[in-house]
Amino acid sequence: MIPRYSRPQMAAIWSPESKFRIWFEIEAHAADAMAELGIIPKEAAKTIWEKGGNATFDIGRIDEIERETKHDVIAFLTHLAEIVGPDARFVHQGMTSSDVLDTCFNVQLVRASDILLADLDQLLAALKQRAFEHKDTVTIGRSHGIHAEPTTFGLKLAQAYAEFVRCRERLERAREEVATCAISGAVGTFANIDPRVEAHVAAKMGLKPEPISTQVIPRDRHAMYFATLAVIASSIERLAVEIRHLQRTEVLEAEEFFSPGQKGSSAMPHKRNPVLSENLTGLSRMVRAYALPAMENVALWHERDISHSSVERMIGPDATVTLDFALARLTGLVERLVVYPQNMQKNLDRFRGLVHSQRVLLALTQAGVSREDAYRLVQRNAMKVWEQGADFLEELLADKEVRAALSEEEIREKFDLAYHTKHVDTIFKRVFGEA
């Protein structure tokens, strides 16, 4: 997480201020529950909220105490006691640091997820709009980077839309994975804390109680969470790579938006680099990498060890902030992508009708020509196009053997691009529910 690739709302989730505020809320809600259960005085619970609810926690002071105690939660509780006064002794009763830390981490991940879900919604909206805009913009489909058959630019974007719909569903499930709360005390046995405290805190913090914790919330949940972010990053990379390809000098079917200022800055008008897509490619690599330590965090020793902590202090912010930035950048890129339908057509026509050779071949076969002969006929005309730059349609029309099997009308019909786009509506209906 570096400022260059951060957006403030997501970064704020990981600030010390946010963290201490969540810690306070967990403690204060727990106190409420304990008061309700008669474990601590109701007045104390009330005082905690009154004194702490609007307090500004002094990060410097907490750091100072931590340097002494070498324990972050104790440092916070000590500072809280300075604010709340004597009733602070009723805070944290029967709880462990992990109860606070793990529940807080999950609250942060849930909030991060909510931002990411909103990011995805914006990306989906942009993709949908541009997909419909270019639903019928014919372009050459490419396999292996080589011209194959025509498709439409709208279909390209519809595919991306469908992919990010899946990403959104995955993220919702990932959010659910980490939306749990544990207030279960040492080694998770509830020996010193009533399970109803956990239930109350969970409800208040928008979480569900972790069915069984062992002081810590099990880390397979977080492994799944970060693995999901990694898959989303991979989908970002796919679309970024597509744009980078489309912007290549020789292809130039689409281009990242350049502000007029940017445009004017270079003496080489063709030198507009897809730097945003390239940047997204790099950011995707990072988000993908963070999934690995998250998986290695699962195998904690016995009821818990603390090896996961340093990893999460880093990847918690790093993965969510980077993905948020990447999704927002991608959305802007899609929204303002400059599309060049005329270049798409030019590229499509590059081989002067050759793209239709397979249809001609099929038509010949269906007209009773043997497969071998049909191949020979198509190929000898294709070769003239390829080697001499001839026009495929004209060559076919002039080929007597071809004409013996197919009429001019039949041949011309094979050059109709509409043949390739006749199911665009079908596909759009599948993807968007409308066409």
Q: Least distance to its own copies from the beta carbon of 68, Å?
A: 8
Candidate ranges 22-30, 112-120, 297-305, 395-403; the one touching its own copies (CB under 8 A): 297-305
132, 186 in Cβ contact below 8 A? Answer: no
- Using the minimum distance from each CB to its own copies, give the nearer residue, 126 or 138: 138
- How many Å apart are CA 384 and CA 106, to the nearest integer? 66
Q: Least distance to its own copies from the beta carbon of 246, Å?
A: 9
- Using the minimum distance from each CB to its own copies, give the nearer residue, 25 or 80: 80
Q: Least distance to its own copies from the beta carbon of 96, Å?
A: 9
Q: Least distance to its own copies from the beta carbon of 26, Å?
A: 20
- How many Å apart are CA 338 and CA 247, to the nearest integer? 10
Give the closest residue to 90 by CA, choosing from 31, 176, 19, 4: 31
Residue 237 within binding range of its own copies, rule CB under 8 A:
yes
Site for its own copies, residues 239 to 278, rule: CB under 8 A:
240-242, 244-245, 247-251, 262, 264-265, 267-275, 278
Catalytic residues: 144, 265
Site for its own copies, residues 348 to 377, rule: CB under 8 A:
350-351, 354-355, 357-362, 371, 375
Candidate list 38, 211, 368, 389; residue touching its own copies; CB under 8 A: 211
- How many Å apart are CA 68 and CA 66, to the nearest integer? 5
Q: Least distance to its own copies from the beta carbon of 190, Å?
A: 4
Encoded tokens for 175: 């959010």
Candidate ranges 41-49, 188-196, 333-341, 395-403; the one touching its own copies (CB under 8 A): 188-196
Candidate list 150, 182, 411, 414; residue touching its own copies; CB under 8 A: 150
Encoded tokens for 198: 């956990």
Helix (H) / strand (E) containing 108: helix 97-133
- How many Å apart are CA 183 and CA 103, to the nearest integer? 8
Encoded tokens for 191: 């020996």
Candidate list 192, 349, 398, 401; residue touching its own copies; CB under 8 A: 192
Length of the chain measured in residues: 435
CA terminus-to-terminus distance, the chain: 41
Residue 45 within binding range of its own copies, rule CB under 8 A:
no
Q: Least distance to its own copies from the beta carbon of 115, Å?
A: 20
Contacts of 7 (CB under 8 A, 6+ apart): 321, 324, 325, 328
Candidate list 191, 338, 398, 404; residue touching its own copies; CB under 8 A: 191
Residue 163 within binding range of its own copies, rule CB under 8 A:
yes
Encoded tokens for 338: 């400059």
Candidate list 382, 396, 402, 406; residue touching its own copies; CB under 8 A: 382
Residue 303 within binding range of its own copies, rule CB under 8 A:
yes
Q: Least distance to its own copies from the beta carbon of 140, Å?
A: 8
Residue 218 within binding range of its own copies, rule CB under 8 A:
yes
Site for its own copies, residues 46 to 105, rule: CB under 8 A:
69-70, 89
- Using the minimum distance from each CB to its own copies, give the nearer residue, 24 or 290: 290
Residue 378 within binding range of its own copies, rule CB under 8 A:
yes
Residue 390 within binding range of its own copies, rule CB under 8 A:
no
- SS3 at position 336: coil
- Using the minimum distance from each CB to its own copies, give the nearer residue, 298 or 328: 298
Give the closest residue to 52 by CA, choosing from 81, 90, 16: 81
- SS3 at position 258: coil
Encoded tokens for 342: 């005329």
Residue 125 within binding range of its own copies, rule CB under 8 A:
no
147, 355 in Cβ contact below 8 A? Answer: yes
Encoded tokens for 298: 């699962």
- How many Å apart are CA 82 and CA 62, to the nearest integer? 11
Residue 195 within binding range of its own copies, rule CB under 8 A:
yes
For the chain, the C-alpha Rg in angstroms (whole number) is: 31
